[in-house]
Amino acid sequence: MTLPRRFPRRWKIAAAELIAETFSSRIWKATREDGSLAVVKALKPFDDVEDELRGAFYLRWRDGHGAVRLLGRDRMDMLLDYAGERHLTAVLDAEGDAATTEIAADVMARLHAPSRRRAPADLQPLHERFAALFDKARANGAAKTNSLYGEAARIAEGLLSDPQDVRPLHGDLHHDNIMEGERGWLAIDPKGVLGDAGFDAANLFYNPLDRDDLCLDPDRIARMASVFSRSMGHEPRRLMDHAVAYGALSAAWHAGDGNHKDEQRELAVAAAIRAVRLSF
**So which residues are the catalytic ones?**
172
Distance CA 14, CA 112 (A): 35
Q: What is the DSSP letter of 208?
A: S
Distance CA 199, CA 239 (A): 8
How many Å from the N-terminal Cα to the C-terminal Cα in the chain?
61
Helix, strand, coil % over all residues of the chain, rounded to 5: 50, 20, 30
Residue 279's contacts (CB-CB under 8 Å, 6 or more residues apart) are none
Backbone angles phi, psi at 187, to 5 degrees: -90, 145
Distance CA 46, CA 44 (A): 6
Distance CA 204, CA 103 (A): 12
Distance CA 251, CA 130 (A): 11
DSSP for 108-167 reads HHHHTS--SSPPPS-PEEHHHHTHHHHHHHHHHHHTT--SHHHHHHHHHHHHHHS--SEE
